């Protein structure tokens, strides 16, 4: 499993695109928002947590179809399926690799982009914490969507239609943590819910993703 993880990470780094693209997209989205709503500082700092969350979510979404697509095309997914590794393990590792290459850089970049959006000082910690807790759920849910659409030619758009509704609870609780944190309110309840969603999906959803992948490889 660790070998598979290392292989995926190495591919992501050397093939290019994986690391930088999501991050660049995140940057562009957050830069575009002020153009759309105006540069007024008060408004921006109020909506900054939400923007950061939506930007991270979209950047995550953008890179989902790469989770299985390359392995599907060159057939290494079939090899992995016949390997002694259980399919659930493969799916979990794939989600983890996606999180490390996409989610983690987003989490680390978010405070820097918060500066651009004049995020209140109290918000930095909570934006960081909520994204760090929430992005694994985004990766795991996204892996499920990617497994659903792996064999399809025009899977990209369908993937977003399938995955975005599934992102709703994570987004609600994650953005709520960031917003409450930025306004200096108590964050415990949404934080616990967010953690619950993350660990719950991490524990249960790989079984669904593995089942779906098995059907698609049939």
Instruction: Give the footprint of another protein on this chain (CB under 8 A).
Output: 144, 148-149, 151-152, 154-155, 158, 161-162, 164-166, 168-169, 172-173, 176, 189-190, 193, 197, 205, 208, 211-212, 215-216, 218
Closer to another protein by Cβ: residue 63 or 201: 201
CA distances, 87 to each of 68, 71, 116 (Å): 13, 14, 42
Closer to another protein by Cβ: residue 155 or 181: 155
Question: What's the sign of the alpha-carbon dihedral 158, 161, 164, 165?
Answer: negative
If one counts every other C-beta atom within 10 angstroms of the C-beta of residue 23, the result is 18
Structure tokens at 207: 């079984």
Give me the least distance between CB of 108 and another protein, in Å please: 26
Give me the least distance between CB of 116 and another protein, in Å please: 26
Give me the least distance between CB of 20 and another protein, in Å please: 30
Nearest to 132 by CA among 52, 203, 206: 52
If one counts every other C-beta atom within 10 angstroms of the C-beta of residue 189, the result is 12
Give me the least distance between CB of 76 and another protein, in Å please: 21
Give me the least distance between CB of 168 and another protein, in Å please: 5
Question: Kind and range of the H or E element at 181?
Answer: helix 155-182
Closer to another protein by Cβ: residue 65 or 176: 176
Closer to another protein by Cβ: residue 4 or 193: 193
Closer to another protein by Cβ: residue 101 or 198: 198
Give me the least distance between CB of 169 and another protein, in Å please: 4
Closer to another protein by Cβ: residue 41 or 189: 189
- Cα–Cα distance, 145 to 103 (Å, whole number): 16
Residue with tokens 């959006």: 117
Per-residue DSSP letter, 183:
T
């Amino acid at each position: 499993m660790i070998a598979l993880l290392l292989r995926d990470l190495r591919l992501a780094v050397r093939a290019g695109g994986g690391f930088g693209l999501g991050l660049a997209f995140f940057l562009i989205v957050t830069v575009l928002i002020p153009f759309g709503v105006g540069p007024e500082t008060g408004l921006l700092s109020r909506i900054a947590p939400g923007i950061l969350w939506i930007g991270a979510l979209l950047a995550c979404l953008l890179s989902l179809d790469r989770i299985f697509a390359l392995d599907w095309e060159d057939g290494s997914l079939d090899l992995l399926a016949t390997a002694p590794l259980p399919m659930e393990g493969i799916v979990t590792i794939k989600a983890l690799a996606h999180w490390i290459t996409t989610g983690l850089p987003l989490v680390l970049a978010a405070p820097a982009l918060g500066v651009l959006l004049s995020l209140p000082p109290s918000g930095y910690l909570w934006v960081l914490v909520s994204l760090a807790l929430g992005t694994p759920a985004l990766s795991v849910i996204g892996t499920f969507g990617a497994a659903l659409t792996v064999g399809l030619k025009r899977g990209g758009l369908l993937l977003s239609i399938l995955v975005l509704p599934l992102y709703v609870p994570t987004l609600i609780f994650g953005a709520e943590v960031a917003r409450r944190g930025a306004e200096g309110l108590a964050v415990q309840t949404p934080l616990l819910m967010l953690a619950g969603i993350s660990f719950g999906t991490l524990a249960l959803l790989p079984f669904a993703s593995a089942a779906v992948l098995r059907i698609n490889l049939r």
